[in-house]
A and B are shown apart, each in its own frame.
Chain A
Amino acid sequence: MVKKIAGKLYVSLIILFLYAPILVLIVLSFNKSKSRNKWGGFTLEWYQSLFKNDDIMTALYTTLIIAFLSAIIATIIGTAASIGMNSMKKVPRTIMMGVTNIPMLNADIVTGISLMLLFVAVNYTLGFSSVLLAHITFNIPYVILSVMPRLKQTNKNTYEAALDLGASPMKAFFKVVFPDIMPGVISGFMLAFTMSLDDFIITHFTRGAGVNTLSTKIYAETRKGIKPEMYALSTLLFVSVLLLLVIINRRNDSISKKRSM
């Protein structure tokens, strides 16, 4: 009995420590008072002014566009690369895996600066497209990382079976192999999307003067002092990621239920 209570207490403490900062943030986003340690009553004022702030809205739009585009493109390239690597012989495949893993382990600042240097060296104007290219670059390894294990699990014979039953190689891939690796592709896309949303350092080095994503915008704003709008913005980001996760988890649950029927 005591053990049970102690266990529950322990778990509660962990959750509290994990989520207390976010909870504080959410509470503050509804705080009428601008002070961080005084409750001045409930308000939606910060949310309203947030949506009226064109700069922030533009940054949000840019962030989402870059996250979406870079995730989509990285997913396509990464999935294709995984398929190619999967059919390689063992030694070249291990080497390729190593090569694709390095950018993930590399410090963001190094990746950021080297990308910037590259763009400058080839006279590529920094701006929206350079940020997009940079995001695609650092997203590809994450896609490969989540697609590869799925591909290795799939029975190689299913592709051959589809060919055997008369499907063209293209059709066999999309009807049989792709549905099999779909969960890996989706989680790769999600991972890439999140990484892109999350990124500050690489964006910071590869963006031009006019381009701002949310993270670079928040950074610029906080240098002038943190405004309550930022709490509201961060709360919205947190809630959307949370919703996304819930949706994906439920989807996976219903798939596994259908399977075990």
Chain B
Amino acid sequence: MMTTLLKLEGIETYIDQFHILHDVGFEVPKGEVTVLLGRNGAGKTTTLRTIMGLNPATQGSVTFNGKDITKLPPYKVAKEGIGYVPEDQGIFGDLTVGENMRVAMQKEDDSTHERMEWVLNLFPDLKTFWNKPGGQLSGGQKQMLAIARAYMNESELLLIDEPSKGLAPIVVEKVMESIQEMKEKTTIVLVEQNFLMASRIGDRFYILDDGQTVHQGQMNELEKDESLKKKYLGIA
């Protein structure tokens, strides 16, 4: 039976005077990759930021693991077990790779060390450049660091915002392979413009348009639905 890990209902979010999200709602099943699709400005990033409490919802509810987290500040949302990889990766440029990872570690016990070992095996570049400032990494390495760091924060759910943005195709391939491996360990909500990549690793999708959820379904269904892809994603 499918267990819902994250549930959004009737979310309304404003940024300053702008009404960005209108009645957004979706469910994220445990152990799956849920992909948020939509054109630029559809409200995908704001949805992730609303879940994190960075742009809190004015109406509606966000439930994680059965607990209402709508009004929690970002640090408490993170402590509940939600890791966030923002669009700009949020790397602390003057801190080394190791220091970037250490900021995310809430404690140092066996389980943290196991996580660290696993994630460094997944992203061996991070081990190689452990003492290099984060700001000097390549785009792909920064993305890997951002994902690894979010995972180190004892996350049961990872919110990843456009991991392929600005990366060379070969690097995108590598990042996507890593995310696919992360599926084994954690649930993922992925915002992605690259439909091919999203369809490869996504289990289900939600399409956002003008701040509303307009379609949902299994990823393999969307792959066959040319009219839907054309209408909302601009894919001919």
Decide whether A and B assemble into one complex. Answer: no
Where the two chains meet, the residues of B that have a C-beta atom closer than 8 Å to any C-beta of A are none
Where the two chains meet, the residues of A that have a C-beta atom closer than 8 Å to any C-beta of B are none
